[in-house]
Structure 1
Amino acid sequence: MKFPQSVLIWGDMSSAGVGPLCFIKSRVSAGIYQILDHFMVPPTGELYGDADFIFQQDLAPAHTAKSTKTWLNDHGITVLDWPANLPDLNPIENLWGISKRKMRDMRLSNAAELTAAIEASWSSITPQQCHRLIASMPHHIEAVIDTEGSRTKY
């Protein structure tokens, strides 16, 4: 396609599997980031039960806004401290890559087809894939330490 379709998505994962996707129709701001009410809180119970968890996100402005921090605090959600300028070590980035590779050869002609393909790709991700990605993180961290914060093969 000369001008390929694109969509903005929020998703989450844990070693127990993936949560539901949220397709966002506007740019992400602190106000829109309150999608967590519907797309994070309910699935968290399904993915973790009563177990504790730590939420990892990058330092995008919507993620670090005062209202977002207040919302996370009010809901008792612990957020992983994340230093600026650190290579992205969030396992969900690798999961997005897996999802994209599953759709690589698809010929999609509109946003609706793209959305359906993304949903199908995402729902085919197994808990085992998620667990392997999370279990691989110590190796990723070690590689970043070895390169003193420079690029790694991950």
Structure 2
Amino acid sequence: MSEHKPSMKSKELSVDLRDRIVSRHISGEGYRKMSAALKVPMSTVASIIRKWKKFETTRTLPRTGRPSKLSHRGRRALVRDVTKNPMVSLSELQRSSVEREPSRRTTIFSAIHQSGLYGRVARRKPLLSKRHMAARLEFAKRHLKDSQSMRKKILWSDETKIELFGMNARSHVWRKPGTIPTVIHGGGSIMLWGCFSAAGTGRLVRIKGKMTAAMYRDILDENLLQSALDLRLGRRFIFQQDNDPKHKAKISKEWLQDNSVNVLEWPSQSPDLNPIEHLWRDFKMAVHRRFPSNLMEFERCCKEEWAKLAKDRCAKLVASYSTRLEAVIAAKG
């Protein structure tokens, strides 16, 4: 019998197994196939994925116990605190309630939930102006009919921050469903630049300190053409980058022109159009499953896991690019 054979209750599965279920789901694997491969009932697989979609975590959430002893006045004060500061933590709420009405963390958690507020990971959600939407719509219409052979020539790139303490150590906010504020994470992280194509992953580079236009130019100089060569994209490959000011700086543009790099004209505020976003998530899950304990080990794990990302996964992300463009057209930008 497999060591992973669980009961029907998902909370008894190991954290690693829950993460593997989510990772396979993100990769497009079906419930039945996952159930057979991991020796987990399909109902449990479905439960884990439902929980991940709703709470954006596979970790066991705190559960309420006996009936709350919190008064109506204390409950109103909690909601008032959370409404004024959505990023306040449970620990801070507990400390602030000591003088008013000492309460357990689970009591506070339950009271906030019953008021219609839930802990959510704060996402970076760009604000789209009418000009942004028009540019996105025009871009999607123009590129929807691009051939797959052309898309295979694109070298996608991006920068990302990865947290040392795992995907579930992200900052949370208390909010009602539907609102998604922005948050910037704290320390214990590293910044990375990476690129990939339908043929697989290219170079991955750690960015030390605050990146300048000169640093970005050096990253391109040391990694871009070599990545295209390693991936056999040919000299007429197309380079994708977003509209970060460092990317658009004179020093960066001159390097691209001097090296005859064909740059894909990219609409602003469009991270959702870049398939590397899904690849970053796969990558971060793989790194965090290794539980690195310090930044040196963390950087080594990053480079190893980036190189190990499946070529088939890269190819599927590029092949499904039309779906992203169609979604933008359907949403009118």
Q: CA deviation at 1:84?
A: 1.9
| 1:12 match: secondary structure | strand
User: Structure 1 residues 68-77 or 111-120, which shifts more?
Assistant: 111-120
Q: CA deviation at 1:103?
A: 2.7
Residue ranges of structure 2 left out of the alignment (5+ in a row): 1-164, 170-185
Kindly name which structure, 1 or 2, has the bigger radius of gyration based on alpha carbons.
2
| Residue 321 of structure 2 is aligned to residue 101 of structure 1 | no
* 4+ residue segments displaced more than 4 Å: 1-4
Contact 2:228 2:234 in 1 (8 A): no
| Whole-Å separation in 1 of the counterparts to 2:247 and 2:287 | 28
Q: CA deviation at 1:148?
A: 1.9
| Whole-Å separation in 2 of the counterparts to 1:137 and 1:12 | 16
What are the within-5 Å matches in structure 2 for residues 25-40 of structure 1? 25-34=208-217, 35-40=219-224
Q: CA deviation at 1:105?
A: 3.7
Q: Classify 1:114/1:138 alpha carbon distance in 2 versus 1 (closer, same or farther; 3 Å).
A: same
CA RMSD of superposed structures (Å): 1.9
Q: Classify 1:46/1:15 alpha carbon distance in 2 versus 1 (closer, same or farther; 3 Å).
A: same
| Deviations 1:4-40, CA, capped at 9 Å, x for gaps | 5211111111111111211111211110002111111
| 1:84 match: secondary structure | coil
Q: Percent identity?
A: 38
Aligned residues: 149
| Residue 203 of structure 2 is aligned to residue 20 of structure 1 | yes
| Whole-Å separation in 1 of the counterparts to 2:256 and 2:238 | 11
What are the within-5 Å matches in structure 2 for residues 121-136 of structure 1? 121-136=305-320
Q: CA deviation at 1:81?
A: 0.6
TM-score with structure 2 setting the length? 0.42
Q: Classify 1:58/1:88 alpha carbon distance in 2 versus 1 (closer, same or farther; 3 Å).
A: farther
Q: CA deviation at 1:87?
A: 4.8
What are the within-5 Å matches in structure 2 for residues 1-154 of structure 1? 5-34=188-217, 35-50=219-234, 52-149=236-333
Q: CA deviation at 1:50?
A: 2.7
| Whole-Å separation in 1 of the counterparts to 2:206 and 2:288 | 20
| 2:303 match: secondary structure | helix
